[in-house]
């Protein structure tokens, strides 16, 4: 009777070990399956997010240069401007273009586009030229330059909105167009 009870107990222990093994194996298989499915879903999204046309990349890079220039010139206008409206417009440029530049940086990171961290030679010459001016000469040159730049920016942003096939880029551009148009209206009204 003692041997029968011992073998019955051994069978129960083996049965328990077997059920644990099957349970752990099923959990591991399910876990690996979920990880594999998650990777399959995530990979195409990551690749799709980074695909950007040459025209869109060129627009992003040009917008970055323009935005950095607007901030530098705005800082200069806020400090050097003789007229109160020039100083106020410069402060608005710093505020608005810093926000737009932040949105552009996020978009560029999402699209795997590396933005420059300094001005190119063309934009640096523009800043240097403005830095050499003082008084009403600065104010007049700043107003004229901002009118010209914002006309060009409005045209380029609207063209990009019409041409891009990328929904994220279109959203950024469409959000920025009213700001650029508002700047153009305000600076045009300041011209004497």
- DSSP string covering 8-62: HHHHHHHHHHHHHHHHHHHHHHHHHHHHHHHHHHHHHHHHHHH---HHHHHHHHH
What is the C-alpha separation between 73 and 76, in angstroms, rounded?
5
- Work out the mean pLDDT of the chain and round it to a whole number: 84
Residue 34 has pLDDT above 70, yes or no: no
Count Cβ atoms below 10 Å from residue 129 Cβ, excluding itself. 11
Same domain, 86 and 70: yes
Query: Residue 64: which CATH number?
Result: 1.20.1260.10
Torsion sign (Cα): 153, 78, 92, 108: positive
What average pLDDT does range 23-49 have in this prediction?
A: 45
What average pLDDT does range 106-123 have in this prediction?
A: 95
What is the C-alpha separation between 150 and 172, in angstroms, rounded?
17
Which among 13, 167, 42 is positioned nearest to 5, based on CA atoms? Answer: 13
**CB-facing half-sphere around the CA of 120: CA atoms within 13 A:** 10
Same domain, 72 and 161: yes
Which among 154, 61, 55 is positioned nearest to 101, based on CA atoms? Answer: 61
Q: Are 74 and 97 in contact (CB under 8 A)?
A: yes
Please give the share of the chain, as a percent, with pLDDT higher than 90.
72
Residue 3 has pLDDT above 90, yes or no: no
Q: How far is CA 137 from CA 28, 70, 130, 143, in A?
A: 75, 19, 9, 10
What average pLDDT does range 56-72 have in this prediction?
A: 96
Angle (CA) 26 27 32, round 5°: 100
Same domain, 102 and 117: yes
Domain termination residue (choose one: 31, 50, 69): 50
Residue 28 has pLDDT above 90, yes or no: no
Number of domains in the chain: 2
Taking the model in full, what pTM does it have? 0.72
Same domain, 45 and 70: no
What average pLDDT does range 113-128 have in this prediction?
A: 95
Residue 32 has pLDDT above 70, yes or no: no
Window from 18-27, 126-135, 175-184 with minimum mean pLDDT: 18-27
What average pLDDT does range 117-121 have in this prediction?
A: 94
Same domain, 14 and 44: yes
**Range(s) of the domain holding residue 125:** 53-190
Same domain, 57 and 130: yes
């Amino acid at each position: 009777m003692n041997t029968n009870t011992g073998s019955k107990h051994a069978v129960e222990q083996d049965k328990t070990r077997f059920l644990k093994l099957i349970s752990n194996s099923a959990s591991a298989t399910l876990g690996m399956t979920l990880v594999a499915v998650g990777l399959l879903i995530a990979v195409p999204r990551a690749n799709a997010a980074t695909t950007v046309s040459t025209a869109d990349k060129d627009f992003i890079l040009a917008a970055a240069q323009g935005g950095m220039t607007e901030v530098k010139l705005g800082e200069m206008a806020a400090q050097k401007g003789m007229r109160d409206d020039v100083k106020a417009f410069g402060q608005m440029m710093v505020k608005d273009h810093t926000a737009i530049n932040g949105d552009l940086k996020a978009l560029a990171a999402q699209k795997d586009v590396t933005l420059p961290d300094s001005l190119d030679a063309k934009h640096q010459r523009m800043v240097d030229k403005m830095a050499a001016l003082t008084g009403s000469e600065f104010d007049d040159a700043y107003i004229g330059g901002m009118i010209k730049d914002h006309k060009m920016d409005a045209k380029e942003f609207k063209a990009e909105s019409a041409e891009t096939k990328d929904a994220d880029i279109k959203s950024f551009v469409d959000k920025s167009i009213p700001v650029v148009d508002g700047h153009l209206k305000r600076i045009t009204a300041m011209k004497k």
